[in-house]
Structures are given as structure tokens and as C-alpha cells.
Amino acid sequence: MPVLHYVYDPLCGWCYGAAPLLHAAQAIEGLAIALHGGGMMSGANRQSVNDHLRRHVMAHDRRIAQASGQPFGQAYFDGLLRDTGAVFDSTPPTTAILAAQEIAGLGLAMLHRIQHAHYVLGQRVPDAGVLARLAQQLGLDAGLFATASARLAGAATEQHVAHSRALLARLGGQGFPTLALDHGDGRMMRLDLGNWLGRHAEWADYLRRQLPAQTAPGQMGGGAACAPAGCAV
């Protein structure tokens, strides 16, 4: 079965811009989507919020909003990006996505919740309490989510990020988001995402045209690569 491999980061603005395209791909019956968290702001790359970071990300965010139509909230621009006690850390959200996927196959839904909480509501998404509330909003059992998150934290998440980085290198991707279609025979076809931002219906049609000849349209689809400028590795 074809698989859409999505190398992403929960704190990558261009991945947030691409979220509606992933939602459209998810709606194609029979398409498997594999999530690969790349750890853009993990470990030594964690960043405390300060004026330099604010100016840097806002310049990108304005371009993302214009290209994709995705909303950015005042609670993010005037709240989170001015919260000098906040730290941008990709690791806890990535662990939460792994847990949601393991429990109920809701990894992509969890990613979208995290993105909305970060970019619209201005919440500190690396915080355990925020992630627990988002999981409950998805209907996940609080105890199961806590247990899975604890088990997947640390070495398991680090190994996942390492594998994601290796896949990114193998695909020749330069950053996030990078998507590629595997038709099921092991051959990866990296597709260009940039021209499809904000064009959800056309994107879905494009995916269907990438299907194997023997697959009926509307049943299985594919993916894409870096958005304009993308989020650097």
C-alpha cells in the first residue's frame, strides 16, 4: 500500500502552513501517513524566547500566513513570543504525538492540536499539562496517555528523531516539511509542496494523479517536500 512519509517538526511554521494539505491527504481513502518527527528544536537546539527569536520567527510567520492562509493568533504574536520564560522544545510534543499514534492512531490529529495551541492560542506546548489537555480534547484516556508518554520519552523519542533525520538525509530533504510517496515497492518519490499551499482541492487532485495505474482514483495518494524557504534542519 502507498505510504505518505511526512518529516515534520511540531514547532516548524511551514509545517503549520502545510497542515491543511496533510488533512486533505488524510481524507484520501486507503492512504497511510507515516509521521517522522525531526527534532528541529530538540536537545542543544532548544531555544528560549527572546527578542531575537521573536523577530526571526515573525518574519517567517508573516510569509507563511500569506502563502497558506493559516491563522496566527494575537495570543501567539503578543503573548507567547513575548514570554521570556517560555522555551521552544520539540521533544515533549514529539513524544506526545508518538503516544497519541500508539494509543489510537491519532498522531496527525495530535500534531494539528499542538500546532493550533502554539500558533493560535499561544500556549506553551512543551509543558506536560498542556499536552495532557490536548490529548483529552482528542478523547484519549488520561491514564493511557500518561503511561505511553512516560514510556516513549527519553531514549525512544531520541531514537525516533535519529531515524527521522536519517530518512530526511536519504530523501535529500533540506528541512521541514519534507514529504515523500512510497508506492509500496520501496522507491521514494519526493514531491514539491510549495506550490500547493492554500490550494487544498487542487493538492488532493494532484495526489491522486500520482497513484499507481492499477489503483482507482480517490483510494490512495501521495505527499510532498519542502515549502518555500522551509524550516531549516
Q: How many domains does the chain have?
A: 1
For residue 15, pLDDT over 80 is answered with yes
* pLDDT per residue as tens digits for the range 83-128: 999 999 999 999 999 999 999 999 999 999 999 999 999 999 999 9
Residue 1 carries which side chain, given as an amino acid letter?
M
pLDDT at 226 over 70: no
For 22-71, the DSSP string reads: HHHHHTSTT-EEEEEE--TT-GGG-EE--HHHHHHHHHHHHHHHHHH---
DSSP code at position 4? E
CATH, residue 185: 3.40.30.10
Which pLDDT band, with edges at 50, 70 and 90, does 213 fall under?
low
153-183 pLDDT, tens per residue?
A: 999 999 999 999 999 999 999 899 999 999 8
The structure's pTM equals 0.91
Domain carrying residue 27: 3-232
